A and B are shown apart, each in its own frame.
Chain A
């Protein structure tokens, strides 16, 4: 690799790369992000390489192992360029056909195509699939077209041109001005304006300054930062370097979870490549500006994603937060001015510099510009990562992109903002998603988790789950968070187990007030949100649990019972045989009865009872009807169901 010594050399080198690439040459891109690797994309990749050789196409076809495409539940995903034909859920056995038919004969293989679950139509091109079509993939879009391990791929799509631009005459002040003008807000949770944060560091008197990438993504179900770091590491590095230049920092850190091995590997390789090309290290692109980046692997504590705890951990101490009355952009890592932004925020920076703040601000709402990547999970037809413009409605995300709720179930709520976010009910589905609207609704943007829940989800249990998670992840340094959450966890657990008391809601509210007002860091200050937001919108569920010992969603194990309707039971013996604890009494032609003492509420009987009988019922808040007398349990000949 050669070192590039000026922005002009960079542009010339880029043109060389592009000129050597034939845009019409067939190229198979295969998603190789963590999610697709989990569904077998490595085996598919090996088979593609083998098959191309076997069919004598070695020089005629390119293979590109890309990062995450986002539509993770459909993986492994293959897209064949230049036509853009895409195939989902590929197995190694599908590969020979793809090579011989689609590559050689240009024929589409019908049975590998995506079928729209709503229209039931087959779709050939990635760009026509509703999941992709309704997104605005500014930051995430390149993931599917480049090999994250190839810096040349990144250069070929215009990568590092923002870096070239700043070293072609942009002063640090000008860079800062552009970022401020873009009104980019931090994508990691707080939504603090990045430009303002940078400016604070730039004007802080200290000579030594630091920049940090927060890649300690810890929200359950969220993996957008992971996918960016795995799939497009150079975009993060480029953004970080631009930030360092703007504030006058010469040392940067990437704090990444060690549970993200592929992200660690790809970013480490990217740093080496960038150093070799002269995009990092001394005298970057001949500008005289020096900047080095170090990868630090976190040990996996949720609280270390909090900025001050992260810095404490980087300093080699236990990852516990410290007071923020003096902001860390003035006194941060080793008490030096430090700009910390998350992965997605940094990845936005090259776009803003390259295309300008005016281009960036055409996306989004008044107070929240640009796009946001969400991790759309839970009871949703299309699971995956979606990038949408700020201001899109929840309804559009859930129905147009997400394809709605599977199994004909009814939507109940969507939980946004990670564990300390809140649940938003159906009546607010028209809410325009941005930082301020989500906060107003009692939730938050957080880092972009979006968990969809259907009618079978108990909202009290959801609150209990998240409060329990946060209790477990509290660092324990400050009393309101450590002890307050412990008490909230206990009370909520009691309520879901039918041991709720009059006054519990008020006590939870009082604890919430103290935890929010008195906790040291954002973990505690936002931790009561799951309780407060579910209470705000689903108070009746709390009251049903406490007063009637009833779980309206029929979900809380201690509050439900299974019962076999004697009028519907045809004594088919299926549930009786499948019951794992032998709690069902009955026999051939003898109506089955569940022994409530033995029953563990596992629900197997309900699942296996044939739908034509539908004899098993789940009930809550009412006594189980008395068993039919012995003499009435025998099903006489002729009364049996014809089935």
Chain B
């Protein structure tokens, strides 16, 4: 595999072919914020926090570093006024859903995000998709998936699979940046196994 040399924040970085800008930065110890990225998973490009500025020739553009491949002689800036402004508002929008998430709170400090800028709609899930993708790509079980589209999108456990697979796994639990995943699982479990709500929704597996 051939080597690629690029510049990130003025620092010379060496990457191998096929590496993304984010991976190249991480390998050189340069921090770029992420929420939906996980090294065991295919790049997703959902949260857009890892947006950076690249300069190809004399052309500057904003790209999302977790899906943008490193190129020879690429010049990357991981922060600028505009990048910080974008990250700030992205974090503010997520804080409306999950105000108590420690990861979001750290990001809020870094980018000066106001947690009360947008009206609270505490739904907790921030749609990073880590649980869904981890279960599908690493565990190959598909016990949890996305339901519906856009602003109505939610994660949901598929009871028939979840009750067989999840109790001995739960590897997705620590991936969740909010507390929503566990809650969704407990709900599924109680509905499906005749818990407090009566268990009428799903048959017991």
Residues of A within 8 A of B (CB): 301, 318, 322-323, 325-326, 471-480, 482-487, 490, 510-511, 513-514, 517-520
Contact = CB atoms under 8 A, between A and B. Distances in A.
Nearest to B129: A477
B50 to A, nearest CB: 10
B115 to A, nearest CB: 14
Interface in B113-150: 118-119, 126-127, 146, 149-150
B108 interface: no
A476 B96 CA distance: 16
Given A318-B146, A473-B150, A479-B46, 17 more contacts: A322-B45, A323-B67, A325-B67, A472-B150, A476-B151, A476-B153, A477-B127, A479-B47, A479-B126, A480-B48, A480-B90, A483-B96, A483-B151, A514-B90, A517-B82, A518-B64, A520-B45
13 contacts: A318-B146, A323-B45, A325-B63, A325-B67, A474-B150, A479-B46, A479-B93, A479-B127, A483-B94, A483-B151, A487-B118, A517-B86, A520-B48
Prevailing SS type, chain A contact patch: helix
Contacts of B82: 513, 517
Interface string B142-164: 00001001111100000000000
Contact of A514 (B63, B64, B86, B119): B86
A323 B118 contact: no
Contacts of A473: 150
Given A479-B94, A520-B45, A520-B48, A510 B62 contact: no
Contacts of A479: 46-49, 90, 93-94, 126-127
A476 B119 contact: no
A513 B93 contact: no
Contact of B93 (A474, A476, A483): A483
Contacts of B68: 323, 325
Contacts of B175: none
Q: Which 6 pairs show the lowest CB-CB distances between chains A and B? A: A483-B93, A476-B153, A476-B150, A323-B67, A474-B150, A518-B48
Contact of A476 (B48, B67, B149): B149
B127 A476 contact: yes
Contacts of B153: 476, 482
Interface in B78-129: 82, 85-86, 89-90, 93-94, 96, 118-119, 126-127
A230 B62 CA distance: 41
Nearest to B45: A323
A37 to B, nearest CB: 31
Most chain A CB within 10 A, of B49, B68, B93, is at B93
A534 to B, nearest CB: 21
B205 to A, nearest CB: 26
A478 B48 contact: yes
Nearest to A517: B62
A318 B96 CA distance: 27
Contacts of B45: 322-323, 478, 520
Most chain A CB within 10 A, of B118, B146, B150, is at B150
A482 B86 contact: no
Contacts of A511: 89
A162 to B, nearest CB: 38
B69 A474 contact: no
Most chain A CB within 10 A, of B49, B118, B149, is at B149
B51 interface: yes
Given A325-B69, A517-B62, A510 B85 contact: yes
A471 B151 contact: yes
A140 B205 CA distance: 59
A10 to B, nearest CB: 47
Contacts of A490: 119
A526 to B, nearest CB: 16
Interface string B31-54: 000000000000101111101000
Given A480-B90, A482-B127, A490-B119, A513 B150 contact: no
A490 B96 CA distance: 13
A484 B93 contact: yes
Nearest to A319: B149
Contacts of A478: 45-48
A510 B84 CA distance: 12
B90 A518 contact: yes
A621 B67 CA distance: 50
A483 B126 CA distance: 10
A486 B96 CA distance: 12
Contacts of B150: 471-476, 482
Contacts of B152: 476
Nearest to B48: A518
A518 B91 CA distance: 13
B127 A518 contact: no
A482 B151 contact: yes
A475 B91 CA distance: 20
Most chain B CB within 10 A, of A301, A482, A486, A514, is at A514
A518 B94 contact: no
A109 B93 CA distance: 65
Nearest to B153: A476
Nearest to A481: B150
A486 B68 CA distance: 27
Nearest to B90: A479
B86 A518 contact: yes
Contact of A510 (B46, B64, B89, B119): B89
Contacts of A519: 48
A514 B48 CA distance: 10
A124 to B, nearest CB: 51
Interface string B56-78: 00000011100111000000000
A316 to B, nearest CB: 14
A405 B46 CA distance: 44
